[in-house]
Amino acid sequence: MSNYYEIPGQKSKELLEKKNKYVARGISASAPVFIEEAKGALMKDVDGNTFIDFAGGIGVLNAGHCPEPVVEAIKKQSEKLIHTCFMAAMYEPYVNLAERLANLAPGSTPKKVMFANSGAEAVENAVKIARSYSKRPGIIAFEMAFHGRTFMTMSLTSKVKPYKFGFGPFAPEVYKIPSAYCYRCYYRSTYPECGMHCLEQFDRFFVAEVAPETIAAIIIEPVQGEGGFIVPPKEFLPGLKSIAERHGILLIVDEVQTGFARTGKMFAIEHYQIEPDLMTVAKSIAAGMPLSGVIGKDYIMDAPDPGHLGGTYTGNPVACEAALATIDYIEKENLSARAEKIGNVIIKRLKEMQDKYQIIGDVRGLGAMIAIELVKDRKTKEPAKEETAKIIKECLNNGLFMLSAGVFGNVIRMLMPLVITDEQIEQALNILEKAVAKINREI
């Protein structure tokens, strides 16, 4: 794995030409390689180059690439039944998975579940359910949030380019509030002396911006993902929950990226002992099969009348069986504990790197959801966007597949499959350190 790859290789180059000719320009990829096969934490491209995968299909592969029991479950189900549409003719995997998730979700209130196909679609449905239950129109979301690319979810999302620019007008009755991003605090305060302005701001907001009695829900990612792996202070989510409760506002917790063992618990919200009113799940739920869901308190989930929720492919039987096998596998292999261990090892090493390389402004994470934020200058915190791209490219050439994140494009996020071996982690961090050292010399 110490090779230096010429990227893209010949076959990837040819496929890239075809892609440029036939695929819409708006669909872009972060690396110019085409992957042919993958197993565990390793991916091989069409030219035979092997990469340690620190992207995990953007948080989809907590259980690794092609886990054996999931592959078997997909094969078995696809030989029996691929599709009927649950709204037309029902099948068992849908209700079995609903039961499993209802019992897995945190909190003592009985839960109900509905399925969709993507994270965005789950968020859309959570908003529909919250409005239907509360009879209120407003939704509060956070700066730096990412909830998807459909119209409602785009409206809830930050990072104007590339997610929103030129695509408006956006959905009405969406309100944004600064997030608990301590490294770049909106109030220029420092935790813990700050007194949590990020919670206090709601008092003013509810007077100056919008009446709380018109707000159906607050939606939040427990760790903001696309926004740069922003972990709020431990008081933030419990504080938010009590503000919501005080005003009869529902709390929707978007666990699309944080769910299924990534942060060291099955769901990240379990770190804060909060019971969400509604929770959205997707990504690592089914090891890559397209599936998402809304899990919520039963009396809230039952607000929309029969027929008011659904979709042709939602809760497809093959995807549901894949999810049941994935959840079994996550539990059997105790991937939550593994995520915590991976997180400790990687954070320790990244902090050592931070001591050596000025470019690393911040190291943060929860469990195995880990990131570094790169800056040109530690005092001004000027985002090192170009340098971030260079480090990621350098890593790719050395066999490590990484992704950027952050509204300023200066965060490197790590979402390795949790089945990764200790040796692969060590190898990956060596590649990363070499790249950081090289680019650090340029600032």
Q: Which of 226, 277, 340, 394 binds ligand PLP (CB under 6 A)?
A: 226
Q: Coil, helix or strand for 385?
A: helix
Q: Please, what is the minimum distance in Å from the beta carbon of residue 312 to ligand PLP?
A: 17
Using the minimum distance from each CB to ligand PLP, give the nearer residue, 231 or 375. Answer: 231
| Residue-wise burial string across 193-226, b where 16 or more C-beta atoms lie within 10 A, e elsewhere | ebebbbbebbeebbeeeeebeebbbbbbbbbbbb
Q: In this chain, which residue has its C-beta nearest to ligand PLP?
A: 119
413 binds ligand PLP (CB under 6 A): no
Binding-site string for ligand PLP from residue 204 to residue 223, where x marks contact by CB under 6 A and - marks none: -----------------x--
Is residue 330 within 8 A of residue 339, CB to CB? The reply is no
57 binds ligand PLP (CB under 6 A): no
Using the minimum distance from each CB to ligand PLP, give the nearer residue, 225 or 406. Answer: 225
Peptide bond connecting 212 to the previous residue in cis, omega within 30 degrees of 0: no
Using the minimum distance from each CB to ligand PLP, give the nearer residue, 253 or 350. Answer: 253
Using the minimum distance from each CB to ligand PLP, give the nearer residue, 146 or 191. Answer: 146
Q: Which of 123, 249, 295, 407 binds ligand PLP (CB under 6 A)?
A: 123
Tokens (6 digits) for 19: 């892609």
* Torsion, Cα of 61, 62, 66, 71 (10° steps): -110
β-partners of residue 116 are 292
Using the minimum distance from each CB to ligand PLP, give the nearer residue, 29 or 211. Answer: 29
Per CB under 6 A, which region of 145-153, 324-332, 399-407, 420-428 contacts ligand PLP?
A: 145-153
147 binds ligand PLP (CB under 6 A): yes
Using the minimum distance from each CB to ligand PLP, give the nearer residue, 1 or 58. Answer: 58
Q: Please, what is the minimum distance in Å from the beta carbon of residue 76 to ligand PLP?
A: 25
Closest CA to 179 of 244, 236, 262, 136: 236
257 binds ligand PLP (CB under 6 A): yes
Using the minimum distance from each CB to ligand PLP, give the nearer residue, 47 or 221. Answer: 221
Residues 102-121, interacting with ligand PLP (CB under 6 A): 118-120
Who's near 359: CB < 8 A, 6+ residues apart?
374, 375, 376, 384, 387, 436, 439, 440, 443
Q: Please, what is the minimum distance in Å from the beta carbon of residue 56 to ligand PLP?
A: 12
324 binds ligand PLP (CB under 6 A): no
Q: Which of 34, 91, 115, 146 binds ligand PLP (CB under 6 A)?
A: 146
Using the minimum distance from each CB to ligand PLP, give the nearer residue, 59 or 106. Answer: 59
Using the minimum distance from each CB to ligand PLP, give the nearer residue, 239 or 259. Answer: 259
Q: Please, what is the minimum distance in Å from the beta carbon of residue 313 to ligand PLP?
A: 13
* Torsion, Cα of 124, 126, 127, 132 (10° steps): 130
Phi/psi of residue 312, nearest 5 degrees: -55, -50
Pairing of strands 369-374, 400-401: unpaired
Q: Which of 45, 47, 53, 254 binds ligand PLP (CB under 6 A)?
A: 254
Is residue 76 within 8 A of residue 99, CB to CB? The reply is no
Task: Give the integer Cα–Cα distance in Å for 391 and 56.
Answer: 18
Q: Please, what is the minimum distance in Å from the beta carbon of residue 118 to ligand PLP?
A: 4
Task: Give the integer Cα–Cα distance in Å for 126 and 296.
Answer: 9
Site size for ligand PLP (CB under 6 A):
15
Q: Which of 282, 295, 416, 418 binds ligand PLP (CB under 6 A)?
A: 282
Task: Give the integer Cα–Cα distance in Å for 126 and 292.
Answer: 11
Closest CA to 224 of 275, 177, 188: 177
Tokens (6 digits) for 338: 């593994």
How many Cβ atoms from other residues are within 10 Å of residue 354's Cβ?
17
Gyration radius of the chain over CA positions:
22
Per CB under 6 A, which region of 40-48, 97-105, 249-257, 303-311 contacts ligand PLP?
A: 249-257
Residues forming contacts to ligand PLP in the complex (CB under 6 A) are 58, 118-120, 123, 146-148, 221, 225-226, 254, 256-257, 282
